[in-house]
Amino acid sequence: MRLARLAFAAVMLLAAPALALDAADRTFGPGRVGAIVKGSTKPDDLVKVYTAAYVKLGKIHTVEGQQQPGAILFQGTSSELQVVFTEDGKKIEFVRIVGAAWSTKEGLRVGTTLAELERINGGAFQFSGFGWDYGGAVKAGGRGLRGLGITIAYTKNGDSRAARQVMGENQFSSRHPALKTLGVVVSQIVVGFGP
């Protein structure tokens, strides 16, 4: 029995650095956020890896005023994630990346400029007009953006005439002239885990 305990302790000591390295991973791609958050990850796994100090369980706003069970990881930091669980709370449905510390191998992150986003996409793209629940949703099929839900927002409020040109439930090109004065950047990225 004592030998079994020693063996277990040794395994835990060896595994701890690996878990710490996994928890430090700030990369993402389709179906994966860091080394830990993927389709098979259970909500309890988040607390085990990131610790309760960095995982706040609660309700997360989804769309149109709806909320689902979820967790906020690293709240208020550049590593912030919003993890949304299925209604039964047993699986991860999607992760909303709101912190700029997370990045794809192509360099996509929150804060990516419009020009950088076009480069990663391989050209211009369409997006939903600003000012409504789905405002700024990017419709792009480039290799560097496939499998990710990207939302853009403008950061400069000085030119309201320019902003009004790209408002509402219409599709606009990322090359629309009004965008040049608005300081458009990626405001959030969603990684889906659903069916």
Find the helix or strand (DSSP H, E) in which 118 lies. helix 114-121
Q: Where are the domains of the chain?
A: 114-189
195 pLDDT more than 90? no
pLDDT grade, residue 6 (50/70/90)? very low
What are the tens digits of pLDDT across the range 67-79?
999 999 999 999 9
Q: Quote the Cα angle for 150-156-161, to 5°.
A: 100
What are the tens digits of pLDDT across the range 120-138?
999 999 999 999 989 999 9
7 token code pair: 């063996």
What are the tens digits of pLDDT across the range 11-65?
333 333 333 436 789 999 998 898 778 777 888 889 888 899 999 999 999 888 8
- Amino acid 89: pLDDT: 83
Tell me how far apart the alpha carbons of residues 121 and 185 are, in angstroms, rounded to a whole number.
Answer: 14
Find the helix or strand (DSSP H, E) in which 110 lies. none
Tell me how far apart the alpha carbons of residues 64 and 78 are, in angstroms, rounded to a whole number.
Answer: 26
Tell me how far apart the alpha carbons of residues 111 and 98 are, in angstroms, rounded to a whole number.
Answer: 9
